[in-house]
């Protein structure tokens, strides 16, 4: 497990899947804000669930987020579209409703940066988020990400087009390099 101050990242367990599916996927309005793909009905136990445990991949790293204080499952985090040749990836997080607003998101972004830059040797991480997602923008900029642009009306979100913000961070710019999280043996 990678540990920060408040959150930990670990491999997804089968026990996590129904909780994540119920609380993060079945909330259609929220899921529509978190994923650029259209929501579609997927049964909780389906291998098509975005939270299903899968084999390790070179292009996708899925984690379960654990609240270190309570040891409860707090959400999911991932690096996706990992490009080993260009050494970049995209970052995403989604916290269960009961764990939002506690400062876990900032810790999770730092942990994903550590994983991407230190463990995987990547050069660049990127975040795409809706322009009104102030919590994600704050977590990313707090880790050193720079707002690189705004994509006007680029995301179809639950009945309307919304602006997206693109943020980027290079390994040499990462503010967390001095206070890198540690891995459990």
> Which of 45, 16, 42 lies closest to 31 in space, CA to CA?
42
Domains of the chain: 2-183 (3.40.630.30)
**C-alpha distance across the termini of the chain, in Å:** 8
Residue 45 pLDDT:
85
The per-residue pLDDT string of the chain (185 residues; one tens digit each, 9 = 90 and over) reads 999 999 999 999 999 999 999 999 998 988 888 888 888 999 888 888 899 998 889 999 999 999 999 999 999 999 999 999 999 999 999 999 999 999 999 999 999 999 999 999 999 999 999 999 999 999 999 999 999 999 999 999 989 999 999 999 999 999 766 555 555 54
Which residues, at least 6 apart from 172, have a Cβ–Cβ distance to it below 8 Å?
Answer: none
Q: What is the pLDDT of residue 20?
A: 94
Residue 14's Cβ-count burial label (10 Å; 0-12, 13-18, 19+) is exposed
Alpha helices in 21-145 (DSSP H): 28-34, 104-113, 134-142
Residues 6+ apart with CB under 8 A from 122: 82, 87, 88, 89, 116, 171
Q: What's the rounded Cα separation, in Å, for the pair 51 and 72?
A: 17
Q: Across-strand partners of 166?
A: 128, 149
What phi and psi values does residue 159 have, to the nearest 5 degrees? Answer: 105, 0
Closest Cα to residue 7, out of 75, 85, 67? Answer: 67
- Check residue 109 and give its pLDDT: 97
pLDDT reported for residue 44: 85
């Amino acid at each position: 497990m990678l540990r920060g101050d408040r959150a930990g990242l670990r491999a997804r367990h089968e026990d996590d899947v129904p909780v994540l599916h119920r609380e993060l996927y079945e909330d259609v309005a929220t899921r529509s804000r978190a994923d650029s793909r259209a929501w579609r009905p997927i049964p909780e136990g389906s291998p098509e669930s975005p939270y299903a445990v899968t084999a390790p991949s070179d292009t996708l790293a899925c984690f379960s987020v654990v609240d270190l204080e309570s040891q409860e499952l707090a959400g999911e985090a991932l690096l996706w579209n990992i490009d080993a040749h260009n050494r970049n990836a995209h970052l995403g997080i989604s916290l269960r409703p009961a764990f939002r607003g506690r400062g876990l998101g900032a810790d999770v972004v730092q942990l994903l940066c550590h994983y991407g830059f230190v463990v995987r040797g990547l050069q660049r991480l990127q975040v795409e988020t809706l322009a009104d997602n102030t919590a994600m923008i704050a977590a990313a900029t707090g880790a050193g990400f720079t707002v690189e642009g705004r994509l006007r009306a680029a995301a179809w979100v639950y009945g309307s087009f919304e602006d997206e913000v693109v943020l980027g961070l290079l390994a040499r710019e990462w503010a967390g390099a001095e206070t890198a999280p540690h891995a459990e043996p």
